């Protein structure tokens, strides 16, 4: 039971760290409490939600978009159990894929709750009831991810008051859905149920949606969602959520700035106010691993905690709670432990909202550049002027490129549009190499493609777009 590396948690950060370390010749064990590998992302987060987003988007297209293309399928009928079965099959396939990869790379899995009992020692209480096993390792990585954040006084029962976990497993489409929180998770899952027939109202404490994203993008995107039937009540503080047996749930809220309260009734309430680091039961306090005031594990630039030999990556440390950020940290840490020079460029981590249209961003927003006093130029191009977008009826949205006014280096790219989550990556690659808007503008793009809008936005930085 002696290893070079023990990874606690097999979400995207943990299993990737384990596999990369094994590739580099380390003897590796992983500890997973859930019983299936893949963490929140594969089991109840990214993957199942994308399966439902895709299926519900096709349902919406069949109902409202096909006729414009000369396809008359009548009125589509929703088979929600079959849609949920597709989601479950997708999850199972991905989870089995992680099992295969761990086995292929000779990583030893231990299914049970792990606790660090001393530097270099992890006690695993096995899920199969066989008792506890003590693993010894030269290095231990905390990769336990995050859990759903809640509001004080609100009890989530995963039936009528649900977290993201319950929202991907409803057994019927609610007539009315209230979403508390206008962030990525709330808008994505709100989109799923809105497409399937729910009337969706979003309550948000701030005076805008998608906090942290570019302000212009958020404003335009809100209008698009409103056209899809979303109702937004911004600048509102939720004070209570009261289930009423088999009846509707009553949500009470008031202006965040102060004022009289209101109530709204809903069949289902989704609490989507963010996530918090998951560090319960790991023995961190007992061994002296420090955490900050938000519960995140404190690490240095090489992911080392305050206790020698113990490291942390992913959602439990500072930074965006994104699966791909955790994966890159897992690779970087594995390489560091193997004597290499692992590194993550935190300035080039894309973020995507998987609605329709999608929202994607990499780098800095206009608000961030202004706050930092950085002079920049902006170029923007709408999909209404893109030939492929017209042909596919996906003309909503635009691409915005932000470049340094002096050097022309691209500092941020923001996209609202169909396929934005894929389009953003040419900007990410460009920025990773320190490229300029001129580099992007002079790169030949295939015609007709949605990606031509990215090139045109880069041309627009220099006030010379061709197609508008």
Segment 337-371, tens digit of pLDDT: 999 999 999 999 999 999 999 999 999 999 999 99
- CA within 13 Å, CB half, 423: 32
Q: How confident is the model at residue 101 (pLDDT cuts 50, 70, 90)?
A: very high
Claim to verify: residue 10 and residue 132 sit in the same structural domain: yes
What span, in angstroms and rounded, lies between the C-alpha atoms of 216 and 77? 37
138, 15: one domain: yes
Which candidate, 145, 139, 144, 146, places its Cα nearest to that of 334? 139
Predicted confidence at residue 393, as pLDDT, reads 97
Answer yes or no: is 63 within a domain: yes
**192 and 306 within one domain:** no
Task: Give the residue-averaged pLDDT of 202-223.
Answer: 98
Active site residue 343: no
Which CATH number belongs to the domain containing residue 210 in this structure? 3.50.50.60
Say if residue 174 is in the same domain as residue 58: no
Report yes or no on 77 lying in a domain: yes
- Of the candidate ranges 80-94, 232-246, 394-408, the one whose mean pLDDT is the lowest: 232-246
Assigned domain for 221 exists: yes
Tokens 């066989």 belong to: 130
Look up residue 422 and give its two tokens.
């894929």
> Which of 378, 58, 372 has the alpha carbon at shortest distance from 217?
378
Which residues, including other chains, have CB under 8 Å from residue 313's CB and lie 6 or more apart?
13, 14, 17, 141, 142, 143, 303, 326, 329, 330, 333
Backbone angles phi, psi at 26, to 5 degrees: -85, 150
Helix (H, G, I), strand (E, B) or coil at 182: coil
| Residue 428 included in any domain | yes
111 and 21 belong to one structural domain? yes
In a domain, 342, yes or no: no
Structure tokens at 373: 């006093």
Name the nearest CA neighbour of 351 among 213, 186, 209: 213
DSSP 425-459: HHHHHHHHTT-BHHHHHTS---SS-TTHHHHHHHH
pLDDT at 192: 98
What average pLDDT score do residues 221-246 get?
94
**What does the pLDDT read at residue 247?**
81
Residue 346 CA, distance from chain mean position: 16
Q: Which residues pair with 216 in a beta bridge?
A: none
What pLDDT is stored for residue 146 in this prediction? 98
How far apart CA 448 and CA 450 sit, in angstroms, is 7
End position of a domain, from candidates 273, 295, 310: 273
Could you tell me what percent of the chain has a pLDDT over 90? Answer: 99
Range 84-94 average pLDDT: 98
CATH of the domain at 413: 3.30.390.30
Handedness of CA 353, 354, 356, 358 (dihedral sign): positive
The answer on 92 and 135 residing in a single domain is: yes
pTM flag (> 0.75): yes
Cα separations in angstroms, 466 against 453, 456, 459: 11, 7, 8
Work out the pLDDT band at 243, boundaries 50, 70, 90: confident
Tokens 């079965």, located at residue: 85
**Omega of the bond prior to 394 within 30 degrees of 0, cis?**
no
Both tokens of 345, joined, read 């460029």
> Does 245 have pLDDT greater than 90?
no
Q: Please compute the mean of the pLDDT values over residues 232-249 and round it to a whole number.
A: 91
Task: Note whether 430 and 307 are same-domain residues.
Answer: no
Residue 362's pLDDT is what?
98
pLDDT tens per residue across span 282-324 = 999 999 999 999 999 999 999 999 999 999 999 999 999 999 9
Q: Phi/psi of residue 221, each to 5°?
A: -65, -35
- From 227, 252, 273, the end of a domain falls on 273
Q: Residue 244: what pLDDT?
A: 73
Mean pLDDT, residues 230-238 taken together = 98
Query: Residues 8, 136: one domain?
Result: yes
* Structural tokens at position 206: 């701030």
Assess whether pLDDT exceeds 80 at residue 449: yes
Q: Are residues 288 and 266 in the same domain?
A: no
Question: What is d(CA 9, CA 38) in angstroms, rounded to the nearest whole number?
Answer: 9
* 7 and 49 belong to one structural domain: yes
Q: How many domains does the chain have?
A: 3
- Evaluate whether 409 touches 434 at the Cβ level (below 8 Å): yes
pLDDT at 246 over 90: no
pLDDT at 58 over 90: yes
Q: Which residues pair with 382 in a beta bridge?
A: 398
Residue with tokens 């955790």, as numbered in its chain:
326
> How confident is the model over 171-200, as a mean pLDDT?
98
Mark 38-64 as b/e (b = at least 16 C-beta within 10 Å): bbbbbbbbbbbbebbbbbbbebbbbbe
Structural domain contains residue 156: no
* Claim to verify: residue 84 and residue 183 sit in the same structural domain: no
Of 302, 343, 447, 467, which is the active-site residue? 447
Please name the helix (run of DSSP H) or strand (run of DSSP E) that holds residue 240, with its range, or none: strand 236-244
Average pLDDT, the chain: 97
User: Domain of 325?
Assistant: 2-148+276-337
| Beta-bridge mates of residue 398 | 382, 416
What does the pLDDT read at residue 116?
98
| 192 and 55 within one domain | no
Query: For the residues of 92-125, what is the DSSP string, one character each?
Result: HHHHHHHHHHHHHTTPEEEEEEEEEEETTEEEEE
**Any domain includes 466:** no
Handedness of CA 85, 90, 93, 99 (dihedral sign): negative
Choose one of 251, 273, 295: the last residue of a domain. 273
Judge contact between 363 and 324, C-beta under 8 A. Answer: no
**pLDDT band at residue 1, thresholds of 50, 70 and 90?**
confident
What is the pLDDT averaged over residues 225-230?
A: 98
154 domain residue, yes or no: no
């Amino acid at each position: 039971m002696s290893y070079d590396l023990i990874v606690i948690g097999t979400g995207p950060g943990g299993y990737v760290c384990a596999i990369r370390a094994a590739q580099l010749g380390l003897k590796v064990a992983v500890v997973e409490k859930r019983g299936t590998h893949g963490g929140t992302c594969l089991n109840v987060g990214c993957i199942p939600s994308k399966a439902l987003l895709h299926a519900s988007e096709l349902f919406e297209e069949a109902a409202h978009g096909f006729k414009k293309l000369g396809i008359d399928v009548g009125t589509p009928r929703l088979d929600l159990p079959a849609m949920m079965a597709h989601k479950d099959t997708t999850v199972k396939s991905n989870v089995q894929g992680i099992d295969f990869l761990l086995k292929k790379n000779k990583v030893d899995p231990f299914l049970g709750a792990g606790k660090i009992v001393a530097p270099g020692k992890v006690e695993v209480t096995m899920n199969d009831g066989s008792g506890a096993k003590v693993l010894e390792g030269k290095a231990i990585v905390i990769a336990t991810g995050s859990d759903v954040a809640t509001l004080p006084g609100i009890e989530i029962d995963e039936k009528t008051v649900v977290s993201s976990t319950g929202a991907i497993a409803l057994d019927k489409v609610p007539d009315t859905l209230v979403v508390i929180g206008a962030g990525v998770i709330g808008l994505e899952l709100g989109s799923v149920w809105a497409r399937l027939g729910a009337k969706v109202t979003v309550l948000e404490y701030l005076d805008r949606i998608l906090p942290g994203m570019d302000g212009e993008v958020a404003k335009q995107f809100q209008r698009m969602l409103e056209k899809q039937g979303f109702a937004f009540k911004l600048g509102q503080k939720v004070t209570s959520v009261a289930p009423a047996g088999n009846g509707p749930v009553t949500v009470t809220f008031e202006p965040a700035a102060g004022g009289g309260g209101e109530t709204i009734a809903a069949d289902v309430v989704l609490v989507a106010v963010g996530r918090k680091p998951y560090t319960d039961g790991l023995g961190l306090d007992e061994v002296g691993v420090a955490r900050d005031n938000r519960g995140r594990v404190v690490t240095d630039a090489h992911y080392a905690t305050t206790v020698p030999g113990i490291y942390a990556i992913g959602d439990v440390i500072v930074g965006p709670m994104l699966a791909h950020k955790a994966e890159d940290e897992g690779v970087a840490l594995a390489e560091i432990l193997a004597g290499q020079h692992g590194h993550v460029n935190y300035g080039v981590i894309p973020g995507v909202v998987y609605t329709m249209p999608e929202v994607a961003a990499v780098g800095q927003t206009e608000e961030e550049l202004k706050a930092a006093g950085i002079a920049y130029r902006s170029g923007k191009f709408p999909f209404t002027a893109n030939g492929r977008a017209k042909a596919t009826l996906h003309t909503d949205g635009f691409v915005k490129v932000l470049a340094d006014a002096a050097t022309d280096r691209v500092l941020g790219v923001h996209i609202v549009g169909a396929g934005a989550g894929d389009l953003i990556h040419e900007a990410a690659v460009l920025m990773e190499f320190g490229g300029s808007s001129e580099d992007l503008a002079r790169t030949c793009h295939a015609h007709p493609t949605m990606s031509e809008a990215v090139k045109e936005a880069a041309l627009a930085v220099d006030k010379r777009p061709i197609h508008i």
